Amino acid sequence: MAEDRPQIYLISPSDPDPELFADRLARVLDTVGIACVRLVTTTRDEMRIGRAADALRAVAHERDVAIVIETHFRMAERHGLDGVHLSDGARSLREARKLLGPDAIVGAFCGASRHEGMTAGEAGADYVSFGPVGTSALGSGATAEQALFAWWSEMIEVPVVAEGGLSPELVRACAPVCDFLGIGDEIWISEDPVASLTGLLAPLG
C-alpha cells in the first residue's frame, strides 16, 4: 500500500485557451504543490495545439513542474514538453518511447483494465492511470474500483494514477492506494479552481 500522501497530477480542460488558461494554471501552481500537468487536446489544429503547449510549458517550467501532452507525442518533442500521456493504453507506448527517449515521461491510461495496465507496465510505462474513479455515464460507464488500486499498489511497482470524477470521499478512499490523484474538470468548472482544489484535497489534511 502507498503510505505517503499522493501527489497531484493536474489535467487541463480540453483545448484550453492558451492565454486565459495559462493565468488560471499559474494561480493553482503558485498555491498548491503539483507534480505534473497534462495538456488535453481534442482539436486537430496543430497550430492551436502548439500555442497551448508553448503557453502551458512556460507556466509549468517556470515553476519546475513537469508537463505532458495527451496522445500527440510528436508534439511533445517539437514543443519541449516532458513527455506524453497515451490514452490508448500500451498500443503506442513503444513507438512513443523510441521517439522521445528514455528520459521522457511516458504514461498510459488503461481505463479499468488490470490486464491493460500490466501490459503498459511491461512495455515500459512510467506510470499507469486508471479511471474514472467516480460514477460516469460517459463511455461504457465502467469505473475503476478501489480493489484495482489496492491490488496494483500492493503488487506492482509502476506508479498509479487515480483519475476521473474525484470527490472528497473518493480522494480519501484513493489516497492510501495510489501514487497520484489526477484532477481536472473537478476544479476547472469552478470560478475559483484554487478553492475547489483545496476543498477536494481537504481529506488529506
Copy the grid coordinates of residue 199. Answer: 476543498
Q: What is the DSSP string of 102-162?
A: TTSEEEEE-TT-HHHHHHHHHTT-SEEEE---S--SSTT-----HHHHHHHHHH--S-EEE
Half-sphere exposure of 73 toward its Cβ, with a 13 Å CA cutoff? Answer: 22
What's the pLDDT at 51?
Answer: 97
- pLDDT tens digit sequence for 54-87: 999 999 999 999 999 999 999 999 999 999 999 9
CA distance 187 to 6: 17
- Is the preceding omega at residue 16 within 30 degrees of 0, hence cis? no
- Please give the CATH architecture assigned to the domain spanning 7-204: Alpha-Beta Barrel (3.20)
List the chain domain ranges.
Answer: 7-204
What's the pLDDT at 205?
Answer: 84
Q: In degrees rounded to 5, what are phi and psi of residue 195?
A: -65, -40
pLDDT for 3 beyond 60: no
What's the pLDDT at 138?
Answer: 63
* pTM of the predicted structure, to 2 decimals: 0.95
Q: In degrees rounded to 5, what are phi and psi of residue 165?
A: 70, 30
CA distance 73 to 95: 9
Q: What is the mean pLDDT of residues 7-28?
A: 96
Half-sphere exposure of 117 toward its Cβ, with a 13 Å CA cutoff? Answer: 23
Task: Pinpoint the alpha helices (H) of the chain.
Answer: 18-29, 46-62, 73-78, 93-100, 114-122, 146-155, 168-174, 185-188, 193-200
CA distance 125 to 129: 10
Q: What is the mean pLDDT of residues 104-111?
A: 97
What's the pLDDT at 2?
Answer: 43
Q: What is the mean pLDDT of residues 125-154?
A: 90
Strand partners, 162: 130, 181
pLDDT for 202 beyond 70: yes
Residue 70 in contact with residue 94, Cβ under 8 Å?
no
